[in-house]
Amino acid sequence: VTKFDFTNEYNATSIHAQGDQYFIDQVSKLTKGDVQITLHTGGSLGFKSADNFYAVSDDAVQIADTLAGSMAGIDPIFLVSSLPFLVKNEKQAEDLYKIAKPYYQKIFAKNGQILLYASPWPASGIWSKKTVTNKQELANLKIRTYDKNGTLTLRDAGADPIKLSWADVVPQLSTGGIQAVLTSADAGASGKFWEHLDNYSAIQYAIPLNMVHMNKDEFDDLPKKDQQAILKAAALTDKHNWQAVKTRVAENYKELVAHKVTIHKDLPKPFIHWLQESAKPSLKEWLKDTGQPGQTIIAEFEKSK
Amino acid sequence: MDIVLTAVAVMTLIFVVLGLGVWVFSGLAIVALLSLVLIGDVSFHRAGAILSRIIFSAGNSWELSAIPLFILMGELIFRSDISDRLFKGLEPWTKKLPGGILHTNVFGCALFAAVSGSSAATTATVGKITTTELKKRGYNRSLSIGSLAGAGSLGLLIPPSLVMIVYGIQSEVSISKLFMAGILPGILIALLYSGYLIIRALMNPSLCPPENVSQISKLKSIVLLLPVISLIVIVMGAIYTGIATPSEAAAVGVFATLLILLKERQLSFAMIQEALIATLLSSTMVCSILITAALLSTAMGFLHLPSELARYIANLHLSPAWLLFALAIFYIVLGLFLDGISITVMSLPITLPIVVQAGFDPLWFGVFLVILIELGQITPPVGFNLFVLQGLTGEKIGQVAKAAFPFFILMCTAALILCLIPNIALWLPNLLSPN
Amino acid sequence: MLIRFLATLSRQLNRLSGALAMLLIVYVLCHILLEIVLRLFGTSTYVLDEFVGYAVAAITFLGLGYSLERNSLIRVNILMDRLPERFHWLLDLLVSAMSFTIFTWISYYWYINTLRSFQRGTTSSSIAETPLWIPEGMVLIGLVLLCFTLLVRMLLLISTRHVPHIELAQSHE
Ligand code: NA
Ligand code: NA
């Protein structure tokens, strides 16, 4: 029996942890219990997302579930899934992932790792106290963002983006230190944002990905049939996760409505256009950073639409 | 290896390594390594990759920044006459109360807990201000250290609280409600402590020296207390108006202290320099232990120890009352050698579902858990409040732990009361936000 | 002679890194205050938690050797108190050697990682794109200096057969 440890940063009921548990169950079934994987949720092993890439590379931990954007400093290609307003829905996000996958795999391979599967986030939107459905309502809105592109885009769009650690978000919401948060309906629901905020604007800012990667030496040490089983389980989980994210969003919306949060789904065209325009510099800079591979990915993605 | 045996082996390692007299911070790192290699069957090479990465990751932490800053605030106050005036100002209020200004420890910590999210920072700051003064005035050493150790851990129960934020994120319980739920149990514990001090002082008056009957009127004492009161008002005000986050409160506190010292013309370059040196020494001591304690937690995670123990309890299928009892023992045992946040994160995925299944309100359980975690802060061999006080007073760890023991019992009593009357925690959040 | 030189060197180096750590405490204070003010005006430095995190790590590790020399890192003296005075140095030597071993070993692995970050130009994923070798290197320096301080302590113990007594630095240097 081979035992592996698997680290992720999210709580046990999160979409990522549930997907990871699904993978573990598949592996256990397909290998008939030969490979046992223990999931450590909530970062309880001590690894944060930013640690995961080299932690797996050095075999400090065998498998990790990592926010792709947190690996941007290793290679900017990892940012493609979190580029603002590039994909409109889960279907496009999946297409983009398939197009970019060979590039991800190459980087993981170069660092002694294999990419098992992706774990998409529900799309991020704007949680806010007052309605945010046009340019004027966005102006000078103190909003917490989670990454570099979000900060730059919302700043260009006229808002006042604020960077805060996740632990400070709820205290700041309760005291009015911030008025809005850029995040998914899902994350807001798990933080019970409806106690402080009444609106959710589904601007479909991005559908970021988490990636689950494994140490290659550990993989190679397994008997052939277990290797096959792991790859099969990974493929199954990939499929499962892209389906799960859609059901999750639907469930989240129901929950939001139940807690009297107004969901703004069909936002005025000029507002969305304004946001997309504000995101252009980020996209341009990313294309410059990544060079040829980035351009190829975007070109292929535009063709697939 | 059997999971109970593993736990015993790790505890033995800790007692042996720390007992040899290794510095606590390096001792914890050594135990982490030995546990991984000897018990977890991890190769030295892998253990090196694990521990070196965690040591950076645990140190590179925004949440830790409150510790040096709150310590700096304590050092500045200690070097000014604010602390002296605090005691003089409190005299007319406490002279009729048996135990006298010993109560400063309890109420100082309870108040300070309202601006600080961690118990190490609370103990260090209040301790810096009170221990020397209480010793000078001839108060019983054991009572003054013990009350400080116990009351310092209120930092976690009275909001803001780091552990509650972690619990809220993990359990999806509203953090705001958790914060409200902690207030009354916090006050309850403070009252228990004060009551205990009164009883001890009545039984044996020699524990507390007779104070020179001060001529200060209550009105005049307010003037003396003004600097401390304004400090608290500024820092709490900054948090509760949303100007600063709880993690930033420490910086506001230092800034406000500097302003007050400047206004009182007590600020000098030499004083700042001295305060900085002392701050570096204390905060290195505290933070280095917190960091290597994270190594130990990681090692325990790789041994699957907390989760397996929790699963063991889950499989016992106990009645609700026995379940709570078993969980209390479980958390107290883990609290002997692990830090609170790690315990919470590692055990909750297993314990929370059982607790909810048994019919307990997760909001209530959050408060119960925080009290159990507070207990771990004052139990040897690894108890952060004990370490902080050892550093502050120069007393032996055994002395400090012994002094803290009655307060450990009192806190257990509080946990019991909370089980019998859950509304102590639930009343306030339900009152302020029904549904 | 050599030992005395090393001891002086260790003292000076620790004084330097201690001073740097104190400057970093002041920096942390200033950055947080700046951020609070900027937020009132609806803007931000966007790097607060990142930079303060690095600084806190650096403060702790740069302060380790400094604190060790000033005996302000706590330990449990159960055994020491029961041992005759003339054996104290031996126990201290054992304990120092254990600490030296573990931190040399951790430093070695952290060195490999820091070197890799440097060679590959790995950065943080934030707006600042901080080259990671800088904060990682600060921690490495602190760790190495700690090892050096422990080594000097061992040499002093062997040569003097006495536990070095440096007063608690309550007063000035
Ligand atoms: Na608190
Ligand atoms: Na303890």
Q: Dihedral through CA B398, CA B399, CA B400, CA B405, nearest 10?
A: 90
**B377 or B36, which is more confident?**
B36
Q: Name A14's Cβ contacts closer than 8 Å, sequence gap at least 6.
A: A41, A186, A190
Task: Enter the tokens of residue B207.
Answer: 């524990």
Q: Do residues A185 and A125 lie in contact, with contact meaning Cβ atoms separated by under 8 Å?
A: yes
Question: Cα(C29)–Cα(C27) distance, rounded to whole angstroms?
Answer: 5
Alpha helix segments (H runs only) across B303-396: 305-314, 320-337, 340-357, 362-377, 384-393
Residue A289 has pLDDT above 90, yes or no: yes
List C-alpha distances in Å: A137 to A142, A156, A157, A164: 11, 14, 11, 22
Ligand nearest to the CA of B246: 1
For residue C27, the SS3 value is helix
Mean pLDDT of C40-52: 90
For residue C153, the SS3 value is helix
pTM above 0.80, yes or no: yes
Q: Beta A124-128 vs A262-264: how paired, if at all? A: unpaired
**Per-residue DSSP letters for B103-160?**
HHHHHHHHHHHTT-S-HHHHHHHHHHHHHHHHHHTT--HHHHHHHHHHHHTHHHHSSS
Mean pLDDT of B286-296: 90
Q: Name B176's Cβ contacts closer than 8 Å, sequence gap at least 6.
A: A170, A171, A174, A195, A196, B433
Check residue B434 and give its pLDDT: 57
Banded pLDDT at B419 (limits 50, 70, 90):
very high
Banded pLDDT at B418 (limits 50, 70, 90):
very high
Residue B156 CA to ligand 1 centre (angstroms): 5
Q: Can you give the C-alpha Rg of chain A in angstroms?
A: 19
Tell me whether B63 touches chain A (CB under 8 Å): yes
A199 DSSP β-pair partners: A128, A262
Banded pLDDT at B213 (limits 50, 70, 90):
low
Give the single-character DSSP code of B23.
B
For residue B359, the SS3 value is coil
Residue C165 burial (CB < 10 Å; 0-12/13-18/19+)?
exposed
Question: Cα(C143)–Cα(B181) distance, rounded to whole angstroms?
Answer: 42
Residue B112 CA to ligand 1 centre (angstroms): 7
Q: Do residues B8 and B303 lie in contact, with contact meaning Cβ atoms separated by under 8 Å?
A: no
Comparing C-alpha atoms, which of A107, A3, A1 is closest to residue A63? A3
Question: Cα(A288)–Cα(A298) distance, rounded to whole angstroms?
Answer: 12
Residue A227 has pLDDT above 70, yes or no: yes
Cis peptide before A120 (omega within 30 of 0): no
Nearest to A190 among B50, B172, B245 (CB): B172
Segments making up each domain of chain C, as ranges: 2-171
Nearest 5°: phi and psi at B301? -60, -45
B146-179 per-position pLDDT tens digit: 999 999 988 889 888 878 888 887 787 887 788 8
Q: Do residues B218 and B93 lie in contact, with contact meaning Cβ atoms separated by under 8 Å?
A: yes
Determine the distance from the C-alpha atom of residue B215 to the mean position of all C-alpha atoms in its chain, rounded to a whole number.
Answer: 36
Q: Do residues C136 and C110 lie in contact, with contact meaning Cβ atoms separated by under 8 Å?
A: yes
Banded pLDDT at C168 (limits 50, 70, 90):
very low
**Per-residue DSSP letters for A57-116?**
HTTSSSEEEEEGGGGTTT-GGGGGGG-TTS--SHHHHHHHHHHHHHHHHHHHHHTTEEEE
Question: Cα(A168)–Cα(B106) distance, rounded to whole angstroms?
Answer: 27
Query: 48-87 in B: which are within 8 Å (CB) of C?
Result: 48-49, 51-53, 55-56, 59-62, 64-65, 68-69, 72
Residue B336 has pLDDT above 80, yes or no: yes
Residue B136 has pLDDT above 80, yes or no: yes
Q: Can you give the C-alpha Rg of chain B in angstroms?
A: 22
C132 contacts on A by Cβ (under 8 Å):
73
Check residue B91 and give its pLDDT: 76
Check residue B124 and give its pLDDT: 87
Determine the distance from the C-alpha atom of residue B164 to the mean position of all C-alpha atoms in its chain, rounded to a whole number.
Answer: 13
Q: Do residues B372 and B331 lie in contact, with contact meaning Cβ atoms separated by under 8 Å?
A: yes
3-state secondary structure C39-90: HHCCCCCCCHHHHHHHHHHHHHHHHHHHHHHCCCCCECCHHHHHCCHHHHHH
Ligand nearest to the CA of B24: 2
Residue B1 has pLDDT above 60, yes or no: no
Beta carbons of B21 and C77 less than 8 Å apart:
yes
Check residue B415 and give its pLDDT: 95
Residue C166 has pLDDT above 70, yes or no: no
Beta carbons of C125 and A142 less than 8 Å apart:
no
Q: Do residues B415 and B192 lie in contact, with contact meaning Cβ atoms separated by under 8 Å?
A: no
Mean pLDDT of C32-45: 91
Mean pLDDT, all residues of chain C: 91
Banded pLDDT at C165 (limits 50, 70, 90):
low
A120 DSSP β-pair partners: A209
C122-150 per-position pLDDT tens digit: 999 988 999 999 999 999 999 999 999 99
**B185 or B139, which is more confident?**
B185
Banded pLDDT at C170 (limits 50, 70, 90):
very low
Least confident of A96-105, B27-36, B148-157: B148-157
Least confident of B208-212, B248-252, C49-53: B208-212
Mean pLDDT of B48-57: 96
Beta carbons within 10 angstroms of residue A114's beta carbon: 21
Give the single-character DSSP code of A162.
E
Q: For residue B374, which amino acid is it?
A: E
Q: Do residues B280 and C63 lie in contact, with contact meaning Cβ atoms separated by under 8 Å?
A: yes
B252-287 per-position pLDDT tens digit: 999 999 999 999 888 999 999 999 999 999 899 889
Check residue C172 and give its pLDDT: 33
How many CA atoms within 13 Å lie on the side-chain side of A8?
Answer: 27
Element (H, E) at A150: helix A148-156
A46 contacts on B by Cβ (under 8 Å):
54, 57-58, 294-295, 297-298, 301, 342
Residue B286 CA to ligand 2 centre (angstroms): 14
Tell me whether B398 touches chain C (CB under 8 Å): yes
C36 contacts on A by Cβ (under 8 Å):
none
* Distance spanning both ends of chain B, measured CA to CA: 47
C127 contacts on A by Cβ (under 8 Å):
148, 151-152
Question: Cα(A97)–Cα(A87) distance, rounded to whole angstroms?
Answer: 11
Nearest 5°: phi and psi at A116? -90, -60
Question: Cα(B196)–Cα(B21) distance, rounded to whole angstroms?
Answer: 34
**Per-residue DSSP letters for A250-272?**
HHHHHHHHHTTPEEE-S--HHHH
Question: Cα(B239)–Cα(A172) distance, rounded to whole angstroms?
Answer: 9
Ligand nearest to the CA of B165: 1
Q: Dihedral through CA B358, CA B364, CA B365, CA B368, nearest 10?
A: -130
Percent of chain A with pLDDT over 70: 100
Task: Enter the tokens of residue C108.
Answer: 């070695």
Task: Enter the tokens of residue C111.
Answer: 């060195």
C82 DSSP β-pair partners: none
Residue B129 has pLDDT above 90, yes or no: no
Beta carbons within 10 angstroms of residue B427's beta carbon: 14
Tell me whether A54 touches chain C (CB under 8 Å): yes
Comparing C-alpha atoms, which of B372, B339, B369 is closest to residue B356? B369
Percent of chain B with pLDDT over 90: 41
Tell me whether B282 touches chain C (CB under 8 Å): yes
Check residue A79 and give its pLDDT: 94
The set of chains that have 3 or more CB pairs under 8 A with B is A, C
Residue B208 has pLDDT above 50, yes or no: yes
Q: How many domains does chain B have?
A: 1
Residue B363 CA to ligand 1 centre (angstroms): 17
Question: Cα(A42)–Cα(A10) distance, rounded to whole angstroms?
Answer: 5
**Chain C, nearest residue to B391 by Cα:** C74
Torsion-angle region of A281 (φ positive above 0: left; ψ -120 to 50: alpha; else: beta): alpha
Q: Do residues C83 and B19 lie in contact, with contact meaning Cβ atoms separated by under 8 Å?
A: no
Question: Cα(A227)–Cα(A115) distance, rounded to whole angstroms?
Answer: 13
Residues of the domain holding B72: 3-432
A164 contacts on C by Cβ (under 8 Å):
49
Cis peptide before A161 (omega within 30 of 0): no
Residue C167 has pLDDT above 50, yes or no: no
